[in-house]
Amino acid sequence: MSETIENVVIVGSGPSGWTAGLYSGRANLSPLLFAGQPHWPELLPGGQLMTTTEVENYPGFENGILGPDLMEIMRKQAERYGCRVIGEDIVEVDFNQRPAVLKDGAGNEHRAWTVIIATGARPKRLGIPGETEFFGGKGVSSCAVCDGAFYKEKVCCITGGGDSAMEEALYLTHHASKVYVIHRREELRASKIMQQRAFENSKIEFVWNSIPIEVVGENSVNGVRVRHVQTNEEKVIPISGFFLAIGHIPNTGFVHDKVALHGSGYIRVDEHQHCLNPKNPAEVIEGVYAAGDCHDHSWRQAVTAAGFGCMAALSAERYLAVIDDQVKRASINQNAAKA
């Protein structure tokens, strides 16, 4: 185990992680950020923006910016203010100890007074042929708000029957000439109001009781092969954009029993981004915060994730200011006695 006790350890390298790194760097806290190992295509250092092309809704970039470029700029900006980076995953944590103990994927242990979990979420995938091949700029996307504008007057489809699918289908109609909603049942999960809006939109056509079984194309997508779940009949629908809205999975497996989670796996936080005690969610875990899509299942935008990263870093900074040297020493002695 490293002798050093870090002021701030940040886990994750998406917009929330880099923003937390920037803020705690500028506060002279010399943060240590674990950027993660690449696990293509689900999980990449840099997060979901690494598989996005043009980002046109991140403020400050009048002409848009490529997702990976935005992440590179954020990284450099955080590093400029002293954020140190290790390209490993964090695989284990112990928040019962003060300072907290974190083990990385290379087997090294680190101690930290504060920890910011910013590991994001990953879109669920269907696992069908063509889905990975055309992902990220070649016609397959899991974010209509990010990529919809590339399908002006084109035909798209979206898979899913929840609120996200309806919201994204409606968003796509601002650009696309037609949007198929492919759903595996003949009843939607989405709220009634979203259903009604989708039903009333003349550009949306529902393909009921069907599942996509292949994304078809050469250099880019030109169709989707669907199978009717009752008749097994197959057909290819010509499309240019294949969108997925079958839910997200928060990347919280490594803390599943260390912090309180919602049933869907998102981290529960208070209004200062504190994580909560899994055994007693009325209690916060001192010094441990979550930021971005790993806790936020509502907004899920790069700019909101960055905002949460900022809040978590400011909360960590305030906490570090109130725990004086005496508290830090007492914790070290306590841990030494336990060992």
User: Which residue is listed with tokens 């841990």?
Assistant: 335
Residue 246 binds ligand NAP (CB under 6 A): yes
Instruction: Say how far apart CA 318 and CA 266 lie, in whole Å.
Output: 25
C-beta of residue 112 within 8 angstroms of C-beta of residue 7 = yes
Task: Say how many Å lie between the first and final Cα of the chain, rounded.
Answer: 13
> Which among 143, 156, 294, 310 is annotated as catalytic?
143
Looking at beta carbons, which residue is closest to ligand NAP? 162
Chosen residue from 5, 73, 126, 249 binding ligand NAP by CB under 6 A: 126
Cα dihedral across residues 164, 166, 169, 173: positive or negative: negative
Distance in angstroms (rounded) separating the CA atoms of residues 74 and 3:
29
What is the SS3 assignment for 16? helix
Of 83, 89, 146, 294, the catalytic one is 146
User: Interface with ligand NAP includes 211 (CB under 6 A)?
Assistant: yes
Q: Which is nearer to ligand NAP, 73 or 211 (CB)?
A: 211
- Amino acid, res. 246: I
Site track 285-314 with ligand NAP (rule: CB under 6 A), x = hit: ------------x-----------------
The number of helices, as runs of H, and strands, as runs of E, in the chain is 7, 20
123 binds ligand NAP (CB under 6 A): no
* 250 interacts with ligand NAP by CB under 6 A: no
Strands (E), the chain: 5-11, 32-34, 54-55, 65-66, 84-86, 90-94, 100-104, 109-117, 121-123, 140-141, 155-159, 178-182, 204-207, 210-217, 221-228, 234-238, 241-244, 248-250, 274-276, 284-290
Q: What is the Cα Rg of the chain in Å? A: 22
Alpha carbons 199 and 163: distance in angstroms, whole number: 13
Q: Segment near ligand NAP (CB under 6 A), from 38-46, 63-71, 245-253, 281-289? A: 245-253
- Closer by beta carbon to ligand NAP, 159 or else 315: 159
Q: For ligand NAP, which residue of 25, 46, 160, 250 counts as binding (CB under 6 A)?
A: 160
Active site (annotated) includes residue 94: no
Query: Count residues contacting ligand NAP (CB under 6 A)?
Result: 17
228 touching ligand NAP, by CB under 6 A: no
* Closer residue to ligand NAP (CB): 137 or 162: 162
Alpha-carbon distance of 64 to 261, in angstroms, equals 35
Q: Of these, 68, 247, 265, 278, which contacts ligand NAP (CB under 6 A)? A: 247
Residue 150: which residues within 8 A CB-CB, separation 6 or more? 53, 54, 175, 241
**Residue 294 annotated among the catalytic residues of the structure:** no
Of 89-97, 162-170, 281-289, 306-314, the segment contacting ligand NAP by CB under 6 A is: 162-170
Active site residue 143: yes
Of 159 and 273, CB closest to ligand NAP: 159
Q: Which is nearer to ligand NAP, 60 or 263 (CB)?
A: 263
Catalytic residues: 143, 146-147
Contact set with ligand NAP (CB under 6 A): 126, 159-165, 167, 184-185, 189, 211, 245-247, 297
